[in-house]
């Protein structure tokens, strides 16, 4: 019986994943620059061909030191609402550089029901009129569309030229998670948020198979296993997961988004039999009582075969040695990629006249001085920042459990670090796309339209969105 938050500590061993999801593991070779400043080829090779010489000496590369721009001028920042760390960083940056003025333009003090759409419209107008801010926080913005429109500056060169941005100081796989196939990096994360998934320890113990070596699993495969756990148990009130039909379908669609939507080529395949079958299968599960979105948590025994959670909390409860859930791990997509969310990223307006100064402020946001501050509420890209975050959250969760620690602080840090090292991509699909999908799917699940009608309406709406 599950009456509170509790999870089993699981050793994340390198192994294969279930049914076609890839293993989600990341190569040790992060593909990032070293801890020395960027090097550039000199104008000549420095090689002289001498009579009788069998080999030529290799080209000599000269180290180009990082050159900070003149710290003078004004930069502006756009975001839906300004978080504490951003306002504090702006004030500290101006104290450090008195000749620089930083203006944070938060659209709303908090995100209301219509604030997101209003902000998108507001920012679009500013971009089209050439009046948008120098730095854009990407939360709730159409990342793919802005990248294609040329709104965002390519930051890959800035990253290469910044000497402290190396794997010793940062999780470079995270910092460069949004790298395009051509090497461009339009958005840079200051924090890494990602979903996790775990299975019921009690139901798993009844399962005939041995899944103890799992590392990384996609939602579809996880739900296949969860259904098996529910079907095989003799316990009452056992459910797949605490989601309703719309949320469940959302995860399944995002799991294999490329089968239905190709944002880069603007192709939509949602009117396919495959999509209709997906919707119908989710509805069938709901009708059979597999979802636990409206159960009485306080007056009945219940079991969830699987649970979704978020990074820092899941890492702590994964060490719980009491009854709860186990095999806790980052959730991957069907291709085995562990993706961070694009909401906690920052970009530079390509039309900005202060790009270098804007990068200096982003560089400051990535500094240990800011990343270790208490106002960061998630895994930071800075290694020292992650240490500080882990210390704060360990103390917080320990206090919430009456001083009972599930494992040591060092173990908690090790779990978070290992999960951060698995990240190998960024979810940059425009939020508006899934908003449309969820809205139309909800009409199907509430009986307002058929699955076929839903698929056709979605195809039409998304094609219009991509071609606006």
The 10s digit of each residue's pLDDT in 363-378 is 999 999 999 999 998 9
Would the pLDDT of 328 be above 90?
no
Residue found under tokens 């948008």: 132
Give pLDDT tens digits for 380-419.
Answer: 999 999 999 999 999 999 998 888 878 899 999 999 999 9
CA distance 65 to 418: 33
The proportion of the chain whose per-residue pLDDT surpasses 70, expressed as a percent, equals 82
Would the pLDDT of 21 be above 90?
no
Would the pLDDT of 25 be above 80?
no
CA distance 303 to 3: 10
Q: What is the pLDDT of residue 115?
A: 85
Give pLDDT tens digits for 217-227.
Answer: 899 999 999 99
Q: CB atoms < 10 A from the CB of 65, how many?
A: 8
The DSSP output letter for 342 is G
Would the pLDDT of 293 be above 60?
yes
Helix or strand holding residue 389 (H, E)? helix 383-400
- Structure tokens given for 377: 């509420």
E-strand stretches of 246-292:
261-262, 267-268
Alpha carbon 280 to chain centroid distance? 29
- Buried b or exposed e, range 394-403, using 16+ CB within 10 angstroms: beebbeebee
Would the pLDDT of 272 be above 70?
yes
| Residues whose CB is less than 8 angstroms from the CB of residue 220 and which lie 6 or more positions away in sequence, other chains included | 19, 21, 252, 255, 256, 334
Is 38 within 8 Å of 436 (Cβ atoms)? no
Alpha carbon 108 to chain centroid distance? 23
Is 369 within 8 Å of 164 (Cβ atoms)? no
Which phi-psi region, left, alpha or beta, contains residue 266 (left: φ > 0; alpha: ψ -120 to 50)?
left
Single out the residue of 171, 157, 198, 147 nearest to residue 67, CA to CA: 157
Give pLDDT tens digits for 189-200.
Answer: 999 999 999 998
Would the pLDDT of 162 be above 70?
yes
| Residues whose CB is less than 8 angstroms from the CB of residue 398 and which lie 6 or more positions away in sequence, other chains included | 404, 405
Is 117 within 8 Å of 140 (Cβ atoms)? no
Q: What is the pLDDT of residue 116?
A: 86
Which phi-psi region, left, alpha or beta, contains residue 327 (left: φ > 0; alpha: ψ -120 to 50)?
left
Q: What is the pLDDT of residue 108?
A: 78
Give the three-class secondary structure for 84.
helix
Annotate 406-450 with DSSP letters as a single string: SS-HHHHHHHHHHHHTT--EEE-S-HHHHHHHHHHHHHHHTTSS-
CA distance 33 to 13: 27
Average pLDDT over residues 283-304: 85
CA distance 220 to 383: 32
Average pLDDT over residues 271-282: 96
The more confident residue out of 113 and 463 is: 463
Q: Which region among 168-177, 254-263, 295-304 has the lowest average model confidence (pLDDT)?
A: 295-304
Q: Are strands 425-427 and 339-341 parallel, antiparallel or unpaired?
A: parallel
Is 326 within 8 Å of 8 (Cβ atoms)? yes
The proportion of the chain whose per-residue pLDDT surpasses 90, expressed as a percent, equals 66
Phi, psi of 400 (to 5 degrees): -70, -20
Helix or strand holding residue 341 (H, E)? strand 339-341
Give pLDDT tens digits for 339-356.
Answer: 999 999 999 999 999 999
Q: What is the pLDDT of residue 327?
A: 78
Residue 214 binned pLDDT confidence (cut-offs 50, 70, 90): low
Give pLDDT tens digits for 39-57.
Answer: 333 333 333 333 333 333 3
Is 283 within 8 Å of 249 (Cβ atoms)? no
Residue 110 binned pLDDT confidence (cut-offs 50, 70, 90): low
Would the pLDDT of 151 be above 70?
yes
CA distance 83 to 107: 12
């Amino acid at each position: 019986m599950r009456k509170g938050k509790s999870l089993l500590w699981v050793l994340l061993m390198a192994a294969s994943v279930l049914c076609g999801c890839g293993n989600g593991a990341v190569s040790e070779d992060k593909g990032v620059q070293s801890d020395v400043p960027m090097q550039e080829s000199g104008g000549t090779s420095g090689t002289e061909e001498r009579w009788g010489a069998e080999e030529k000496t290799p080209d000599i590369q000269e180290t180009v030191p990082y050159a900070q721009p003149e710290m003078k001028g004004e930069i502006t920042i756009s975001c839906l609402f300004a978080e504490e760390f951003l306002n504090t960083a702006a004030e500290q940056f101006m104290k450090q550089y008195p000749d620089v003025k930083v203006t944070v333009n938060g659209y709303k003090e908090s995100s209301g029901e219509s604030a997101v759409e209003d902000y998108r419209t507001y920012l679009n107008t500013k971009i089209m009129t050439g009046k948008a801010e120098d730095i854009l926080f990407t939360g709730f913005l159409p990342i793919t569309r802005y990248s294609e429109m040329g709104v965002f500056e390519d930051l890959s060169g800035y990253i290469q030229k910044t000497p402290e941005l190396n794997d010793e100081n940062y999780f470079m796989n995270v910092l460069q998670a949004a790298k395009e196939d051509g090497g461009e990096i339009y958005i840079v994360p200051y924090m890494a948020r990602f979903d996790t998934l775990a299975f019921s320890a009690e139901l798993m113990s009844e399962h005939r198979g041995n899944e103890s070596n799992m590392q990384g699993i996609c939602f579809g495969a996880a739900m296949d296993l969860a259904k098996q756990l529910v079907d095989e148990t003799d316990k009452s009130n056992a459910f797949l997961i605490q989601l309703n039909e719309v949320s469940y379908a959302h995860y399944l669609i995002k799991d294999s988004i490329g089968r239905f939507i190709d944002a880069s080529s603007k192709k939509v395949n949602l009117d396919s039999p495959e999509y209709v079958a997906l919707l119908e299968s989710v509805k069938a599960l709901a009708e059979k009582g597999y979802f636990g979105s409206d159960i009485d948590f306080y007056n009945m025994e219940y079991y969830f075969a699987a649970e979704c959670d978020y990074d820092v909390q899941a890492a702590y409860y994964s060490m719980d040695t009491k009854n709860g859930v186990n095999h806790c791990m980052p959730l991957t997509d069907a291709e085995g990629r562990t993706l961070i969310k694009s909401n906690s990223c920052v970009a530079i307006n390509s039309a900005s006249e202060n790009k270098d100064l804007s990068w200096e402020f982003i560089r400051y946001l990535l500094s240990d001085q800011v990343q270790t501050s208490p106002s960061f509420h998630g895994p930071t890209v800075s290694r020292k920042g992650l240490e500080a975050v882990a210390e704060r959250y360990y103390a917080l969760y320990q206090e919430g459990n009456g001083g009972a620690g599930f494992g040591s602080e060092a173990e908690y840090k090790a779990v978070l670090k290992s999960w951060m090292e698995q990240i190998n991509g960024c979810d940059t699909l425009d939020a508006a796309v899934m908003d449309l999908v969820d809205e139309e799917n909800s009409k199907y699940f509430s009986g307002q339209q058929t699955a076929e009608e839903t698929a056709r309406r979605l195809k039409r709406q998304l094609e219009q969105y991509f071609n606006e």
